[in-house]
Amino acid sequence: MPVASWKGKLAVVALICSLVAVCSAAARAAGDYYPVEFGFDPADVENADAVVVSIRGLQFAKLPSDLPSLLMYLGHNELSVIARSPANSRGGVSRGGAAMLKDMRLRPDYKPFPPAARSRGGRSSVASELVDIFTGTDRHMGVTYLEDSLNSGREQHGKNFVVIPLRWSTDPNDSRASINNFKLWMSEAYACARKYHKPFYVVSHSWGTVLAYQTLTELAAEGSPVHADLLMTLGSPIVPSAWWSRVFVNGEHFYNYMSAEVAKPDNVSHWVNIWALYDPISNEIPQADVNLRVDSRADELSELLQKAISNAAWNFSDPAPALYDLVMLESVGRWHASYFEDYHHYFNSIGRDMDSVIFVPDVLSRL
């Protein structure tokens, strides 16, 4: 197999691994998730300057070890739709999804893997290494990472808002049930904020941005009084940038009865979308009022590292240090977590560092 083809396949696996890993029954049995629950003290709202509702993203879990299984695992909802209606692949199904179906030669009676089959066994060493390098698995995202970051920032920087997390199973196939819960819970939180005349903000990350957007959109359509003074989306796949992310997002939209069209919700005053080019899960959202890219400086470092790799090849020297630095620079997992963890790394091969402080100036300062 040509090197370029091999690297391309590994890159696809790495990017898809970083997009999502659905919570399996084994992960739940191990206690890696928090229970679906909601509650807050109205007294905290009365004494705060603002109310911040937070919605976290997916939780990383075991992934299938081979590429076809991985693709079907992540895109099984859309793939099953394509397989049932191959003649109607033009209607709402991405070209990427149709290409995946053709490449994998799925039969018309294809059905998604049962949960037991999807969570079987361990990953191959290659898949494990890719997940560890590109996503850092759950090292970058603890169970309560978003609310913890907001509360920690609040305490360290003298902010006086109250964080109300909307918790869910972190399984994307539970998105519809979670949205139904969120509509009730967000209404309750908003009613308390309005009672005490407090600004109402919604901060979400990753797949949580899709849930937040859909919740607000449906509340507006239903005539709910809920109104967000600020919707902040971090690392959002609402407008997916790559075909493999479109396959997943479109499939989940269909499976969970979610709208595929994107428009600014009528009940949102200001929408700020924070994204990173090196986080392919994220993208610009044209419908947002503000799109803030946080990794622009990485472009210059990427060019320097690629030149260092080329120079090493020409000089018959070891390109490994520059290759390692390039992998770290383009680490999907680190950039996808950078919105609340920042990004810090020293690139030994070129003697340069990247010290990107993101959370305080770009996120916390807006609350």
User: What's the angle, vertex CA 117, arms to CA 116 and CA 122, rounded to 5?
Assistant: 95
Quote the CA–CA distance of 188 and 150 in Å, as a whole number.
Answer: 20
| Segment 182-206 mean pLDDT | 97
Do residues 171 and 208 make contact, with C-beta atoms less than 8 angstroms apart?
Answer: no
Collapsed DSSP state (helix, strand, coil) of residue 62: coil
Q: What share of the chain is helix, strand, coil (3-state, %, to 5)?
A: 50, 10, 40
User: The pTM is what?
Assistant: 0.75
pLDDT digits (tens, 9 = 90+) for 319-364: 888 988 988 898 888 898 999 999 999 999 999 999 999 999 999 9
Quote the CA–CA distance of 237 and 224 in Å, as a whole number.
Answer: 26
Predicted pLDDT of residue 334: 86
Q: How many CB atoms lie under 10 A from the CB of residue 156?
A: 10
Q: Specify the higher pLDDT residue, 71 or 59.
A: 59
Predicted pLDDT of residue 34: 52
Predicted pLDDT of residue 250: 75
Q: Mean of the per-residue pLDDT values for the chain?
A: 76
Measuring CA to CA, how many Å separate 56 from each of 93, 247, 313, 362? 27, 21, 43, 18
Do residues 200 and 193 make contact, with C-beta atoms less than 8 angstroms apart?
Answer: yes
Residue 24 neighbours by CB under 8 Å, 6+ apart: 61, 62, 115, 118, 119
| Segment 51-57 mean pLDDT | 96
pLDDT digits (tens, 9 = 90+) for 141-178: 667 899 999 999 999 999 999 999 999 988 787 899 99
